[in-house]
Structure 1
Amino acid sequence: MKKAVSVIALFALGTTIMNAQISDSLRRVVKMDGAYNFRDTGGYKTTDGKEVVLGKVYRSDAINKLSDRDLVTFKNKKIKTVVDFRGTEEAKKAMDRLPENTSYLLCPAGSENLPNVQDMAKLLKEKNFLTGMYGEGGLPYFGERYRALFVQLLTLKPDEALLYHCTGGRDRTGMASALFLKILGVPQDVIESDYVASNFYLAKNPTMQQMYSGLSKMSGLSESQVKAEMELRPELIRTFFAAINKKYGSIENFFQVEMGIGPKEVAVLKQKYTK
Protein backbone atom coordinates (compact mmCIF):
# COMPACT_ATOMS: atom_id res chain seq x y z
CA MET A 1 0.00 0.00 0.00
CA LYS A 2 2.81 2.39 0.92
CA LYS A 3 4.51 1.66 -2.40
CA ALA A 4 1.34 2.46 -4.32
CA VAL A 5 0.91 5.72 -2.44
CA SER A 6 4.55 6.63 -3.15
CA VAL A 7 4.14 6.00 -6.87
CA ILE A 8 1.01 8.14 -6.98
CA ALA A 9 2.77 10.91 -5.06
CA LEU A 10 5.74 10.86 -7.44
CA PHE A 11 3.46 10.93 -10.46
CA ALA A 12 1.54 13.88 -9.01
CA LEU A 13 4.79 15.73 -8.29
CA GLY A 14 6.03 15.14 -11.82
CA THR A 15 2.75 16.35 -13.27
CA THR A 16 2.84 19.49 -11.12
CA ILE A 17 6.40 20.26 -12.21
CA MET A 18 5.53 19.76 -15.86
CA ASN A 19 2.31 21.81 -15.67
CA ALA A 20 4.20 24.69 -14.08
CA GLN A 21 6.70 24.64 -16.91
CA ILE A 22 4.03 24.35 -19.57
CA SER A 23 2.20 27.46 -18.35
CA ASP A 24 5.51 29.33 -18.20
CA SER A 25 6.68 28.09 -21.61
CA LEU A 26 3.88 29.55 -23.72
CA ARG A 27 6.09 32.47 -24.68
CA ARG A 28 8.79 30.02 -25.81
CA VAL A 29 6.70 27.78 -28.04
CA VAL A 30 7.09 28.42 -31.76
CA LYS A 31 3.94 27.24 -33.51
CA MET A 32 4.78 25.22 -36.59
CA ASP A 33 2.62 23.20 -38.97
CA GLY A 34 5.30 20.55 -39.41
CA ALA A 35 6.93 20.34 -35.96
CA TYR A 36 5.51 19.76 -32.48
CA ASN A 37 8.36 20.47 -30.06
CA PHE A 38 9.85 23.65 -31.52
CA ARG A 39 10.79 25.94 -28.62
CA ASP A 40 12.97 28.89 -27.65
CA THR A 41 15.51 27.96 -24.95
CA GLY A 42 15.50 31.44 -23.46
CA GLY A 43 13.53 33.21 -20.76
CA TYR A 44 14.83 31.24 -17.78
CA LYS A 45 16.34 32.96 -14.74
CA THR A 46 19.87 32.03 -13.71
CA THR A 47 21.21 31.63 -10.18
CA ASP A 48 23.07 34.95 -10.46
CA GLY A 49 19.89 36.90 -11.22
CA LYS A 50 20.24 37.13 -14.98
CA GLU A 51 18.00 35.67 -17.68
CA VAL A 52 18.73 33.49 -20.70
CA VAL A 53 18.05 35.63 -23.76
CA LEU A 54 15.10 34.87 -26.02
CA GLY A 55 15.27 34.70 -29.80
CA LYS A 56 18.80 33.31 -30.12
CA VAL A 57 18.78 29.55 -29.51
CA TYR A 58 15.98 27.16 -30.47
CA ARG A 59 15.36 23.43 -30.06
CA SER A 60 13.03 21.16 -32.01
CA ASP A 61 11.92 17.72 -33.05
CA ALA A 62 12.18 16.65 -36.72
CA ILE A 63 11.89 19.48 -39.23
CA ASN A 64 11.64 17.51 -42.46
CA LYS A 65 7.93 18.33 -42.80
CA LEU A 66 8.03 22.08 -42.34
CA SER A 67 5.41 23.87 -44.44
CA ASP A 68 6.04 26.92 -46.61
CA ARG A 69 4.54 28.99 -43.82
CA ASP A 70 6.95 27.34 -41.36
CA LEU A 71 9.90 28.32 -43.55
CA VAL A 72 8.77 31.94 -43.37
CA THR A 73 8.64 31.66 -39.56
CA PHE A 74 12.08 30.02 -39.64
CA LYS A 75 13.51 32.94 -41.62
CA ASN A 76 11.76 35.52 -39.45
CA LYS A 77 13.44 33.97 -36.41
CA LYS A 78 16.78 34.63 -38.18
CA ILE A 79 17.84 31.00 -37.77
CA LYS A 80 20.93 30.65 -39.94
CA THR A 81 22.54 27.55 -38.39
CA VAL A 82 21.05 24.10 -37.76
CA VAL A 83 22.76 21.38 -35.73
CA ASP A 84 21.29 17.89 -36.23
CA PHE A 85 21.98 15.14 -33.66
CA ARG A 86 20.46 12.31 -35.72
CA GLY A 87 22.40 9.42 -37.21
CA THR A 88 23.54 9.54 -40.84
CA GLU A 89 20.87 7.16 -42.18
CA GLU A 90 18.26 8.61 -39.83
CA ALA A 91 18.89 12.06 -41.31
CA LYS A 92 18.89 10.80 -44.91
CA LYS A 93 15.46 9.21 -44.50
CA ALA A 94 13.94 12.48 -43.31
CA MET A 95 16.09 15.32 -44.62
CA ASP A 96 15.63 18.70 -42.97
CA ARG A 97 13.56 21.17 -44.95
CA LEU A 98 15.44 24.43 -44.60
CA PRO A 99 15.45 27.90 -46.15
CA GLU A 100 18.23 28.54 -48.66
CA ASN A 101 21.63 29.52 -47.28
CA THR A 102 21.06 27.82 -43.93
CA SER A 103 24.23 26.30 -42.50
CA TYR A 104 23.69 22.62 -41.61
CA LEU A 105 25.86 20.44 -39.36
CA LEU A 106 25.23 16.75 -38.73
CA CYS A 107 26.56 15.50 -35.37
CA PRO A 108 25.68 11.78 -35.33
CA ALA A 109 27.89 10.56 -32.47
CA GLY A 110 25.98 7.93 -30.51
CA SER A 111 23.13 7.94 -33.04
CA GLU A 112 24.53 5.61 -35.69
CA ASN A 113 23.51 2.44 -33.89
CA LEU A 114 20.31 3.35 -32.13
CA PRO A 115 18.04 0.36 -31.43
CA ASN A 116 15.48 -0.42 -34.13
CA VAL A 117 11.81 -1.03 -33.32
CA GLN A 118 12.39 -4.74 -32.68
CA ASP A 119 15.28 -4.02 -30.33
CA MET A 120 13.29 -1.33 -28.53
CA ALA A 121 10.42 -3.77 -27.98
CA LYS A 122 12.82 -6.18 -26.27
CA LEU A 123 14.48 -3.45 -24.22
CA LEU A 124 11.14 -2.16 -22.98
CA LYS A 125 10.53 -5.47 -21.26
CA GLU A 126 13.80 -5.10 -19.38
CA LYS A 127 12.66 -1.76 -17.92
CA ASN A 128 14.59 1.51 -17.68
CA PHE A 129 16.36 1.10 -21.03
CA LEU A 130 16.63 4.89 -21.41
CA THR A 131 18.90 5.03 -18.37
CA GLY A 132 21.78 3.52 -20.33
CA MET A 133 21.45 6.14 -23.05
CA TYR A 134 21.64 8.95 -20.50
CA GLY A 135 24.25 7.35 -18.28
CA GLU A 136 27.50 5.47 -18.77
CA GLY A 137 26.28 3.88 -21.99
CA GLY A 138 26.01 7.26 -23.67
CA LEU A 139 29.00 8.87 -21.94
CA PRO A 140 31.55 8.08 -24.71
CA TYR A 141 29.48 10.09 -27.21
CA PHE A 142 28.50 13.21 -25.28
CA GLY A 143 31.60 15.27 -26.04
CA GLU A 144 31.73 14.48 -29.75
CA ARG A 145 27.98 14.90 -30.19
CA TYR A 146 27.70 18.31 -28.55
CA ARG A 147 31.09 19.88 -29.31
CA ALA A 148 30.01 21.40 -32.64
CA LEU A 149 26.91 22.92 -31.07
CA PHE A 150 28.89 24.88 -28.49
CA VAL A 151 31.53 25.93 -31.02
CA GLN A 152 28.72 27.34 -33.14
CA LEU A 153 27.21 29.08 -30.11
CA LEU A 154 30.54 30.72 -29.36
CA THR A 155 30.88 32.05 -32.92
CA LEU A 156 27.22 32.83 -33.67
CA LYS A 157 26.80 36.31 -35.12
CA PRO A 158 24.87 38.86 -33.04
CA ASP A 159 22.10 39.18 -35.65
CA GLU A 160 21.62 35.43 -36.17
CA ALA A 161 19.97 32.55 -34.31
CA LEU A 162 20.64 28.81 -34.11
CA LEU A 163 18.50 25.67 -33.93
CA TYR A 164 19.46 22.18 -32.77
CA HIS A 165 17.27 19.11 -33.05
CA CYS A 166 16.92 15.34 -33.40
CA THR A 167 13.87 13.25 -34.33
CA GLY A 168 11.69 13.70 -31.25
CA GLY A 169 13.50 16.72 -29.84
CA ARG A 170 13.45 15.03 -26.45
CA ASP A 171 16.45 12.79 -25.64
CA ARG A 172 19.51 13.93 -27.59
CA THR A 173 18.06 17.43 -27.86
CA GLY A 174 17.00 17.35 -24.22
CA MET A 175 20.54 16.59 -23.11
CA ALA A 176 21.87 19.44 -25.28
CA SER A 177 19.41 21.86 -23.68
CA ALA A 178 20.35 20.63 -20.22
CA LEU A 179 24.05 21.30 -20.91
CA PHE A 180 23.33 24.73 -22.42
CA LEU A 181 21.13 25.86 -19.53
CA LYS A 182 23.44 24.32 -16.92
CA ILE A 183 26.56 26.10 -18.14
CA LEU A 184 24.63 29.39 -18.15
CA GLY A 185 23.66 28.87 -14.49
CA VAL A 186 19.99 27.93 -14.74
CA PRO A 187 18.86 26.03 -11.59
CA GLN A 188 18.56 22.24 -11.76
CA ASP A 189 14.82 22.14 -11.07
CA VAL A 190 14.14 24.54 -13.93
CA ILE A 191 16.30 22.46 -16.28
CA GLU A 192 14.32 19.37 -15.32
CA SER A 193 11.01 21.15 -15.90
CA ASP A 194 12.11 22.28 -19.34
CA TYR A 195 13.24 18.74 -20.10
CA VAL A 196 10.03 16.90 -19.15
CA ALA A 197 7.88 19.46 -20.99
CA SER A 198 8.64 17.48 -24.18
CA ASN A 199 6.18 14.87 -22.90
CA PHE A 200 3.41 17.42 -23.26
CA TYR A 201 4.32 18.79 -26.67
CA LEU A 202 5.03 15.42 -28.27
CA ALA A 203 1.72 13.99 -27.04
CA LYS A 204 0.19 15.88 -29.98
CA ASN A 205 2.51 14.22 -32.49
CA PRO A 206 0.72 11.36 -34.32
CA THR A 207 4.07 9.72 -35.06
CA MET A 208 4.63 9.21 -31.33
CA GLN A 209 1.22 7.59 -30.95
CA GLN A 210 1.98 5.27 -33.87
CA MET A 211 5.27 4.34 -32.26
CA TYR A 212 3.61 3.53 -28.93
CA SER A 213 1.03 1.40 -30.70
CA GLY A 214 3.66 -0.48 -32.70
CA LEU A 215 5.87 -1.09 -29.67
CA SER A 216 2.85 -2.30 -27.72
CA LYS A 217 2.05 -4.93 -30.34
CA MET A 218 5.65 -6.08 -30.64
CA SER A 219 6.44 -6.16 -26.92
CA GLY A 220 3.14 -7.48 -25.59
CA LEU A 221 2.96 -4.54 -23.20
CA SER A 222 -0.05 -2.25 -23.07
CA GLU A 223 0.23 1.17 -24.69
CA SER A 224 0.06 2.77 -21.26
CA GLN A 225 3.00 0.61 -20.11
CA VAL A 226 5.01 1.53 -23.20
CA LYS A 227 4.26 5.20 -22.68
CA ALA A 228 5.29 4.98 -19.01
CA GLU A 229 8.64 3.45 -19.98
CA MET A 230 9.24 5.97 -22.77
CA GLU A 231 8.16 9.09 -20.89
CA LEU A 232 10.81 11.58 -19.88
CA ARG A 233 11.42 11.79 -16.15
CA PRO A 234 13.57 14.19 -14.10
CA GLU A 235 15.76 11.32 -12.91
CA LEU A 236 16.97 10.72 -16.46
CA ILE A 237 18.54 14.16 -16.71
CA ARG A 238 19.97 13.62 -13.21
CA THR A 239 21.50 10.37 -14.46
CA PHE A 240 22.99 12.30 -17.38
CA PHE A 241 24.66 14.87 -15.11
CA ALA A 242 25.71 12.21 -12.59
CA ALA A 243 27.53 10.20 -15.26
CA ILE A 244 29.41 13.32 -16.38
CA ASN A 245 30.26 14.35 -12.82
CA LYS A 246 31.49 10.84 -11.97
CA LYS A 247 33.98 10.78 -14.84
CA TYR A 248 35.01 14.44 -15.06
CA GLY A 249 34.34 15.76 -11.56
CA SER A 250 32.10 18.59 -12.76
CA ILE A 251 30.15 19.81 -15.77
CA GLU A 252 32.74 22.57 -16.21
CA ASN A 253 35.56 20.00 -16.43
CA PHE A 254 33.57 18.04 -19.01
CA PHE A 255 33.26 21.17 -21.14
CA GLN A 256 36.97 21.85 -20.91
CA VAL A 257 38.20 18.29 -21.49
CA GLU A 258 35.74 17.15 -24.15
CA MET A 259 34.90 20.39 -25.94
CA GLY A 260 37.84 22.68 -25.29
CA ILE A 261 35.56 25.17 -23.59
CA GLY A 262 37.27 26.56 -20.50
CA PRO A 263 36.45 29.43 -18.12
CA LYS A 264 37.10 32.12 -20.76
CA GLU A 265 34.76 30.47 -23.27
CA VAL A 266 32.09 29.90 -20.60
CA ALA A 267 32.29 33.60 -19.80
CA VAL A 268 31.70 34.36 -23.49
CA LEU A 269 28.67 32.06 -23.56
CA LYS A 270 27.22 33.79 -20.51
CA GLN A 271 27.90 37.22 -22.00
CA LYS A 272 26.20 36.27 -25.29
CA TYR A 273 23.22 34.30 -23.98
CA THR A 274 22.27 35.91 -20.68
CA LYS A 275 21.37 39.47 -19.79
Structure 2
Amino acid sequence: MKKIVLIAAVLALGTTINAQLSDSLRRIVKMEGAYNFRDTGGYKTEDGKEVVLGKVYRSDAINKLSEKDLITFKNKKIKKVVDFRGTEEAKKAMDRLPENTSYLLCPAGSENLPDAQNMVKLLKEKNFLLGMYGTEGLPYFGERYRPLFVQLLTLKPDEALLYHCTGGRDRTGMASALFLKILGVSQATIESDFVASNFYLAKNPTMQQMYSGLSKMAGLSESEVKAEMELRPELIRTFFAAITKKYGSIENFFQVEMGIGPNEVAILKQKYTK
Protein backbone atom coordinates (compact mmCIF):
# COMPACT_ATOMS: atom_id res chain seq x y z
CA MET A 1 0.00 0.00 0.00
CA LYS A 2 2.81 2.42 0.91
CA LYS A 3 4.47 1.70 -2.43
CA ILE A 4 1.27 2.48 -4.31
CA VAL A 5 0.89 5.80 -2.43
CA LEU A 6 4.51 6.74 -3.18
CA ILE A 7 4.13 6.00 -6.89
CA ALA A 8 0.92 8.02 -7.01
CA ALA A 9 2.67 10.96 -5.32
CA VAL A 10 5.50 10.89 -7.81
CA LEU A 11 3.17 10.69 -10.81
CA ALA A 12 1.09 13.55 -9.47
CA LEU A 13 4.13 15.83 -9.65
CA GLY A 14 4.63 15.19 -13.34
CA THR A 15 7.37 14.03 -15.66
CA THR A 16 9.78 16.88 -14.89
CA ILE A 17 10.31 15.75 -11.34
CA ASN A 18 10.57 12.09 -12.37
CA ALA A 19 13.63 12.95 -14.43
CA GLN A 20 15.33 14.26 -11.29
CA LEU A 21 14.13 11.48 -9.02
CA SER A 22 15.44 8.73 -11.32
CA ASP A 23 18.89 9.08 -9.78
CA SER A 24 18.02 10.93 -6.57
CA LEU A 25 19.52 8.23 -4.32
CA ARG A 26 22.89 9.74 -5.22
CA ARG A 27 21.84 13.04 -3.67
CA ILE A 28 19.26 12.62 -0.95
CA VAL A 29 20.71 12.67 2.57
CA LYS A 30 18.51 10.75 4.98
CA MET A 31 17.85 12.88 8.04
CA GLU A 32 15.40 12.38 10.89
CA GLY A 33 14.97 16.11 11.47
CA ALA A 34 14.98 17.48 7.89
CA TYR A 35 13.07 16.54 4.74
CA ASN A 36 14.78 18.30 1.85
CA PHE A 37 18.46 17.70 2.63
CA ARG A 38 20.29 17.00 -0.65
CA ASP A 39 23.69 16.95 -2.30
CA THR A 40 23.89 19.42 -5.21
CA GLY A 41 26.38 17.24 -7.07
CA GLY A 42 26.10 14.43 -9.58
CA TYR A 43 24.63 16.49 -12.42
CA LYS A 44 26.23 16.53 -15.87
CA THR A 45 27.38 19.86 -17.30
CA GLU A 46 26.90 20.80 -20.92
CA ASP A 47 30.65 20.50 -21.59
CA GLY A 48 30.68 16.85 -20.52
CA LYS A 49 31.84 17.20 -16.92
CA GLU A 50 29.98 16.43 -13.70
CA VAL A 51 29.28 18.47 -10.58
CA VAL A 52 31.20 16.82 -7.74
CA LEU A 53 29.35 15.02 -4.98
CA GLY A 54 30.08 15.49 -1.30
CA LYS A 55 31.05 19.17 -1.37
CA VAL A 56 27.92 21.34 -1.47
CA TYR A 57 24.59 20.53 0.18
CA ARG A 58 21.18 22.21 0.36
CA SER A 59 18.42 21.77 2.92
CA ASP A 60 15.26 22.93 4.58
CA ALA A 61 15.30 23.98 8.27
CA ILE A 62 17.86 22.14 10.38
CA ASN A 63 16.76 23.22 13.86
CA LYS A 64 15.36 19.76 14.63
CA LEU A 65 18.32 17.60 13.67
CA SER A 66 18.63 14.53 15.90
CA GLU A 67 21.82 13.22 17.48
CA LYS A 68 22.00 10.71 14.65
CA ASP A 69 21.61 13.56 12.14
CA LEU A 70 24.48 15.46 13.74
CA ILE A 71 26.71 12.42 13.26
CA THR A 72 25.69 12.31 9.58
CA PHE A 73 26.37 16.04 9.36
CA LYS A 74 29.88 15.59 10.74
CA ASN A 75 30.54 12.57 8.53
CA LYS A 76 29.69 14.70 5.49
CA LYS A 77 32.47 17.07 6.65
CA ILE A 78 30.12 20.05 6.54
CA LYS A 79 32.07 22.88 8.17
CA LYS A 80 30.25 25.93 6.80
CA VAL A 81 26.53 26.78 6.89
CA VAL A 82 24.88 29.65 5.02
CA ASP A 83 21.35 30.52 6.16
CA PHE A 84 19.03 32.58 3.93
CA ARG A 85 16.30 33.10 6.53
CA GLY A 86 15.40 36.45 8.07
CA THR A 87 16.82 37.46 11.44
CA GLU A 88 13.66 36.74 13.47
CA GLU A 89 12.88 33.68 11.37
CA ALA A 90 16.29 32.23 12.25
CA LYS A 91 15.99 33.14 15.95
CA LYS A 92 12.70 31.28 16.29
CA ALA A 93 14.22 28.07 14.93
CA MET A 94 17.96 28.24 15.52
CA ASP A 95 20.11 25.83 13.54
CA ARG A 96 21.27 22.78 15.44
CA LEU A 97 24.90 22.34 14.42
CA PRO A 98 27.92 20.32 15.50
CA GLU A 99 30.60 22.25 17.40
CA ASN A 100 33.08 24.25 15.33
CA THR A 101 30.68 24.72 12.43
CA SER A 102 30.91 28.15 10.81
CA TYR A 103 27.52 29.87 10.52
CA LEU A 104 26.60 32.82 8.29
CA LEU A 105 23.16 34.47 8.14
CA CYS A 106 22.23 36.14 4.83
CA PRO A 107 18.77 37.64 5.45
CA ALA A 108 18.51 40.00 2.46
CA GLY A 109 14.95 39.90 1.14
CA SER A 110 13.79 37.70 4.03
CA GLU A 111 13.11 40.35 6.67
CA ASN A 112 9.68 41.25 5.34
CA LEU A 113 8.18 37.97 4.21
CA PRO A 114 4.36 38.06 4.08
CA ASP A 115 2.49 36.97 7.19
CA ALA A 116 -0.50 34.60 7.02
CA GLN A 117 -3.00 37.39 6.30
CA ASN A 118 -0.93 38.77 3.44
CA MET A 119 -0.33 35.29 2.08
CA VAL A 120 -4.09 34.77 1.91
CA LYS A 121 -4.45 38.02 -0.03
CA LEU A 122 -1.67 37.05 -2.42
CA LEU A 123 -3.07 33.55 -2.91
CA LYS A 124 -6.37 35.01 -4.03
CA GLU A 125 -4.57 37.25 -6.51
CA LYS A 126 -2.86 34.19 -8.07
CA ASN A 127 0.77 33.68 -9.08
CA PHE A 128 2.15 35.50 -6.04
CA LEU A 129 5.40 33.48 -6.13
CA LEU A 130 6.31 35.09 -9.45
CA GLY A 131 7.02 38.39 -7.69
CA MET A 132 9.51 36.79 -5.30
CA TYR A 133 11.37 35.23 -8.20
CA GLY A 134 11.13 38.28 -10.45
CA THR A 135 11.13 42.04 -10.12
CA GLU A 136 10.18 42.16 -6.41
CA GLY A 137 13.04 39.88 -5.44
CA LEU A 138 15.60 41.29 -7.87
CA PRO A 139 16.97 44.01 -5.53
CA TYR A 140 17.98 41.34 -3.00
CA PHE A 141 19.56 38.63 -5.15
CA GLY A 142 23.09 40.01 -5.15
CA GLU A 143 23.24 40.79 -1.42
CA ARG A 144 21.63 37.47 -0.49
CA TYR A 145 23.81 35.19 -2.59
CA ARG A 146 27.15 37.02 -2.69
CA PRO A 147 28.31 35.63 0.70
CA LEU A 148 27.51 32.08 -0.42
CA PHE A 149 29.75 32.30 -3.46
CA VAL A 150 32.54 33.91 -1.45
CA GLN A 151 32.35 30.90 0.85
CA LEU A 152 32.36 28.54 -2.12
CA LEU A 153 35.45 30.19 -3.57
CA THR A 154 37.35 29.85 -0.30
CA LEU A 155 36.09 26.43 0.84
CA LYS A 156 38.97 24.14 1.78
CA PRO A 157 39.52 20.84 -0.07
CA ASP A 158 38.66 18.77 3.01
CA GLU A 159 35.49 20.73 3.86
CA ALA A 160 31.89 20.76 2.65
CA LEU A 161 29.27 23.52 2.79
CA LEU A 162 25.51 23.60 3.38
CA TYR A 163 23.06 26.38 2.51
CA HIS A 164 19.41 26.42 3.54
CA CYS A 165 16.28 28.36 4.42
CA THR A 166 13.06 27.17 6.07
CA GLY A 167 11.59 24.99 3.33
CA GLY A 168 14.77 24.63 1.31
CA ARG A 169 12.78 25.43 -1.81
CA ASP A 170 12.48 29.12 -2.78
CA ARG A 171 15.52 31.02 -1.49
CA THR A 172 17.55 27.81 -1.45
CA GLY A 173 16.20 26.81 -4.85
CA MET A 174 17.38 30.06 -6.40
CA ALA A 175 20.82 29.58 -4.85
CA SER A 176 21.05 26.09 -6.34
CA ALA A 177 19.93 27.40 -9.73
CA LEU A 178 22.71 30.01 -9.73
CA PHE A 179 25.32 27.48 -8.56
CA LEU A 180 24.41 24.90 -11.19
CA LYS A 181 24.02 27.53 -13.90
CA ILE A 182 27.48 29.03 -13.41
CA LEU A 183 28.97 25.51 -13.49
CA GLY A 184 27.35 24.86 -16.88
CA VAL A 185 24.45 22.54 -15.99
CA SER A 186 21.58 22.59 -18.51
CA GLN A 187 18.40 24.57 -17.94
CA ALA A 188 16.28 21.40 -18.04
CA THR A 189 18.35 19.77 -15.29
CA ILE A 190 18.27 22.92 -13.16
CA GLU A 191 14.47 23.00 -13.43
CA SER A 192 14.19 19.32 -12.50
CA ASP A 193 16.37 19.84 -9.44
CA PHE A 194 14.29 22.88 -8.50
CA VAL A 195 10.85 21.26 -8.61
CA ALA A 196 12.09 18.12 -6.81
CA SER A 197 11.49 20.01 -3.55
CA ASN A 198 7.76 19.43 -4.13
CA PHE A 199 8.34 15.71 -3.68
CA TYR A 200 10.59 15.86 -0.63
CA LEU A 201 8.52 18.46 1.20
CA ALA A 202 5.31 16.50 0.63
CA LYS A 203 6.46 14.36 3.56
CA ASN A 204 6.89 17.38 5.83
CA PRO A 205 3.90 17.70 8.23
CA THR A 206 4.58 21.43 8.65
CA MET A 207 3.87 21.97 4.95
CA GLN A 208 0.60 20.06 5.21
CA GLN A 209 -0.43 22.12 8.23
CA MET A 210 0.36 25.30 6.31
CA TYR A 211 -1.73 24.24 3.30
CA SER A 212 -4.62 23.33 5.60
CA GLY A 213 -4.43 26.60 7.55
CA LEU A 214 -4.20 28.80 4.47
CA SER A 215 -7.06 26.89 2.88
CA LYS A 216 -9.38 27.70 5.77
CA MET A 217 -8.29 31.33 5.96
CA ALA A 218 -8.57 31.95 2.22
CA GLY A 219 -11.75 30.00 1.62
CA LEU A 220 -9.94 27.97 -1.03
CA SER A 221 -9.58 24.22 -1.33
CA GLU A 222 -6.30 22.67 -0.22
CA SER A 223 -5.66 21.62 -3.83
CA GLU A 224 -6.03 25.25 -4.94
CA VAL A 225 -3.62 26.46 -2.28
CA LYS A 226 -1.16 23.70 -3.12
CA ALA A 227 -1.33 24.51 -6.83
CA GLU A 228 -0.43 28.13 -6.12
CA MET A 229 2.40 27.31 -3.76
CA GLU A 230 4.07 24.33 -5.42
CA LEU A 231 7.24 24.96 -7.36
CA ARG A 232 7.07 24.90 -11.13
CA PRO A 233 9.69 25.44 -13.85
CA GLU A 234 8.31 28.85 -14.86
CA LEU A 235 9.44 30.25 -11.49
CA ILE A 236 13.12 29.56 -12.10
CA ARG A 237 12.71 30.81 -15.68
CA THR A 238 11.25 34.04 -14.25
CA PHE A 239 14.24 34.26 -11.89
CA PHE A 240 16.79 33.96 -14.68
CA ALA A 241 14.78 36.24 -16.99
CA ALA A 242 14.63 39.05 -14.40
CA ILE A 243 18.40 38.85 -13.89
CA THR A 244 19.11 38.73 -17.61
CA LYS A 245 16.83 41.67 -18.34
CA LYS A 246 18.66 43.90 -15.84
CA TYR A 247 22.25 42.67 -16.25
CA GLY A 248 22.29 41.31 -19.81
CA SER A 249 23.33 37.81 -18.73
CA ILE A 250 23.71 35.60 -15.68
CA GLU A 251 27.49 35.89 -16.04
CA ASN A 252 27.30 39.68 -15.95
CA PHE A 253 25.12 39.49 -12.83
CA PHE A 254 27.88 37.48 -11.14
CA GLN A 255 30.46 40.03 -12.23
CA VAL A 256 28.51 43.13 -11.19
CA GLU A 257 26.78 41.93 -8.00
CA MET A 258 29.27 39.42 -6.63
CA GLY A 259 32.61 40.42 -8.08
CA ILE A 260 32.86 37.01 -9.72
CA GLY A 261 34.34 37.34 -13.17
CA PRO A 262 35.84 34.82 -15.62
CA ASN A 263 38.79 33.98 -13.36
CA GLU A 264 36.55 33.26 -10.36
CA VAL A 265 34.12 31.25 -12.51
CA ALA A 266 37.07 29.15 -13.68
CA ILE A 267 38.00 28.53 -10.03
CA LEU A 268 34.44 27.48 -9.20
CA LYS A 269 34.41 25.06 -12.12
CA GLN A 270 37.79 23.67 -11.13
CA LYS A 271 36.67 23.15 -7.52
CA TYR A 272 33.16 21.80 -8.15
CA THR A 273 33.25 19.88 -11.45
CA LYS A 274 35.34 16.98 -12.63
TM class by smaller structure: over 0.9
- C-alpha distance in structure 1 between counterparts of 2:130 and 2:16, whole Å: 21
Q: Is 1:184 the equivalent of 2:175?
A: no
- C-alpha distance in structure 1 between counterparts of 2:22 and 2:88, whole Å: 36
Aligned residues, how many? 264
- C-alpha distance in structure 2 between counterparts of 1:13 and 1:213, whole Å: 19
Name the amino acid aligned to 1:265.
E
Structure 1 residue 158 displacement after superposition: 0.1
Deviations 1:10-34 (A, max 9, x none): xx89601101211221210000000
Asked whether the 8 Å contact 2:84–2:163 carries over to 1, the reply is yes
Deviations 1:181-234 (A, max 9, x none): 000000000000000000000000000000000000110000000000000000
- C-alpha distance in structure 1 between counterparts of 2:83 and 2:91, whole Å: 11
- C-alpha distance in structure 1 between counterparts of 2:22 and 2:35, whole Å: 16
Q: Which residue of 2 aligns with 1:19?
A: 18
Q: Could you tell me the TM-score, scaled by structure 2's length?
A: 0.95
TM alignment of 1:1-275, pairs within 5 A: 15-275=14-274
- C-alpha distance in structure 1 between counterparts of 2:98 and 2:12, whole Å: 41
Where in structure 1 do 4 or more consecutive aligned residues deviate above 2 Å? none
Structure 2 gap ranges (5+): 1-10
Name the amino acid aligned to 2:112.
N
- C-alpha distance in structure 1 between counterparts of 2:78 and 2:261, whole Å: 26
Q: Which residue of 2 aligns with 1:3?
A: none
RMSD, aligned α-carbons: 1.0
Name the amino acid aligned to 1:239.
T
Deviations 1:53-75 (A, max 9, x none): 00000000000000000000000
Structure 1 residue 118 displacement after superposition: 1.1
- C-alpha distance in structure 2 between counterparts of 1:31 and 1:47, whole Å: 29
1:168 counterpart SS class: coil
Structure 1 gap ranges (5+): 1-11
Name the amino acid aligned to 1:172.
R
- C-alpha distance in structure 1 between counterparts of 2:24 and 2:50, whole Å: 14
Asked whether the 8 Å contact 2:33–2:64 carries over to 1, the reply is yes
Q: Could you tell me the TM-score, scaled by structure 1's length?
A: 0.95
Structure 1 residue 177 displacement after superposition: 0.1
Name the amino acid aligned to 2:240.
F
- C-alpha distance in structure 1 between counterparts of 2:115 and 2:253, whole Å: 30
Distance 1:13 1:74, change over 3 A: closer
- C-alpha distance in structure 1 between counterparts of 2:151 and 2:160, whole Å: 10
